[in-house]
Amino acid sequence: MSTALNFAAVEKGAAHVGAQLVSDVSLPALVLHRDALEHNIRWMQDFVSRSGAELAPHGKTSMVPALFGRQLAAGAWGITLATAVQTRAAYAAGVRRVLMANQLVGAPNMALIAELLADAQFEFYCMVDHPDNVAALGAFFAERGLRLNVMIEYGVVGGRCGCRSEQEVLDLARAIKAQPALALTGIEGYEGVIHGDQAESGIRAFAGSLVRLAVDLQNSGAFDIGKPIITASGSAWYDLIAEEFESQDAEGRFLSVLRPGSYVAHDHGIYKDAQCCVLHRRGDLSEGLRPALEVWAHVQSMPEPGFAVIALGKRDVAFDAGLPVPLLRYQPGVLPAVGEDLSACKVTAVMDQHAFMTVAPGCGLKVGDIVSFGTSHPCLTFDKWRVGCIVDEQMSVIETFETCF
């Protein structure tokens, strides 16, 4: 007689409210610290509001509807997303205003948006940068008796998407005007592709050009709404974009929208460095963002003196913009959970399920110990997880969340 074993599906890092990270959660686990998370949401909302702009956080960073809800409750104007599928996921979670900072291309993707537009309460904007896309969108939505809000994307040579010259922008506006199913509602750009020694001056010039183009389009009657949207800003240069929009009096004529996303979790790498630059440029900011995102994992093996293998790898943490950063060591099962500094240790390589870490003298690290790691580039850490947990100061799980990648 055979016996069938039935196992419920268990996601890695799954936890329950009330669980203790050091004793009750299967590691590795994706962890958000509540206090830092709430601080970051308040900080950015306050910064953007004081700049005379609106905030549409880029949701593709986390794709966590629970975070979208927190951001909207704190005053965000809407949520920025990158794809039609992401937009549908956000809509299912209750988001009713989406700025898709990307082109809507392909009939199946257009169909997803058309289905959502059947809800009169849903407000959607997407980008266009080429007459072919304008023609395809115009035909698709005209056939369905719908009108689609579009914004012209303005880019830079060698950058990403977007019209490459001001003349292309003006020509595209005329193409949009010829499509009754399209409404031109604003202009958009992304400054994060501007690099080099003169990046700051280049970004200021780009933002100024964006505003001037918006004024030209408005003066020519190209826009189909009274107060068009002007939007830019990733997570590194949002202060420059805000300053340029203010200096060009964009608030008076346009709805200025900033779109940083990584601020919600922040990091211990590229965005930590970018935030230091923001604070250096803006002496009026006494405090910046706080890293809220960590990945926790066990010490799996210590096969050689001064060398530890951690049960954490490329399947669990971003490695494109820097390796994970050892933060604190915790003793498994020991409460209260008090961490010991591991900043003298260093991750030197990651494999699929392993990280190699040098162990500084005197650390006393043991197999089975728990290590918290900071990350660089939160976007590519979030997308390796389906579930995560939010913890309080005692490292107790107070909330769990799902991602929707």
Mean pLDDT of all residues belonging to the chain: 95
* CATH number of the domain where residue 363 is located: 2.40.37.20
Q: Which band of pLDDT confidence, cut at 50, 70 and 90, is reported for residue 10?
A: confident
pLDDT surpassing 60 at residue 3? no
Q: What is the pLDDT of residue 367?
A: 98
In a domain, 229, yes or no: yes
Q: Is 65 helix (H, G, I), strand (E, B) or coil?
A: helix
Query: Over the stretch 282-302, which tens digit does the pLDDT of each residue have?
Result: 989 988 999 999 999 999 999
What are the C-alpha distances in Å from 382 to residues 58, 143, 355, 397?
13, 38, 18, 18
* Same domain? 246 vs 300: no
Assess contact for 350 and 319: CB atoms under 8 A: yes
Query: Over the stretch 62-80, which tens digit does the pLDDT of each residue have?
Result: 999 999 999 999 999 999 9
* Same domain? 88 vs 137: yes
Residue whose C-alpha is closest to residue 75's, from 100, 42, 39, 50 = 42
Cα torsion through 105, 107, 111, 117, rounded to 10:
50
In a domain, 14, yes or no: no
In a domain, 151, yes or no: yes
What count of other Cβ atoms lies within 10 Å of the Cβ of residue 205?
14
* Same domain? 69 vs 190: yes
* Same domain? 254 vs 298: no
Q: State which amino acid sits at residue 158.
A: G
In a domain, 177, yes or no: yes
In a domain, 276, yes or no: no
Query: Over the stretch 345-379, which tens digit does the pLDDT of each residue have?
Result: 999 999 999 999 999 999 999 999 999 999 999 99
In a domain, 325, yes or no: yes
* Same domain? 183 vs 221: yes
**Mean pLDDT within 17-38:** 98
Assess contact for 258 and 54: CB atoms under 8 A: yes
pTM of the model: 0.95
* Same domain? 212 vs 82: yes
What are the C-alpha distances in Å from 207 to residues 240, 303, 316, 373?
8, 54, 37, 36
Sign of the torsion formed by the C-alpha atoms of 181, 183, 184 and 188 = negative
In a domain, 278, yes or no: no
pLDDT surpassing 80 at residue 2? no
Domain count, the chain: 2
Per DSSP, the residues of 202-267 read HHHHHHHHHHHHHHHHHHTT--SSSS-EEEE--SSSHHHHHHHHHHTTHHHHSEEEE---GGGT--
* Same domain? 316 vs 246: no
* CATH number of the domain where residue 113 is located: 3.20.20.10
pLDDT surpassing 80 at residue 49? yes
Q: What CA–CA distance (Å, rounded) separates 188 from 102?
A: 10
* Same domain? 251 vs 298: no
* Same domain? 295 vs 209: no
* Same domain? 162 vs 231: yes
Q: State which amino acid sits at residue 218.
A: Q
The range of the structural domain enclosing residue 203 comes to 58-260
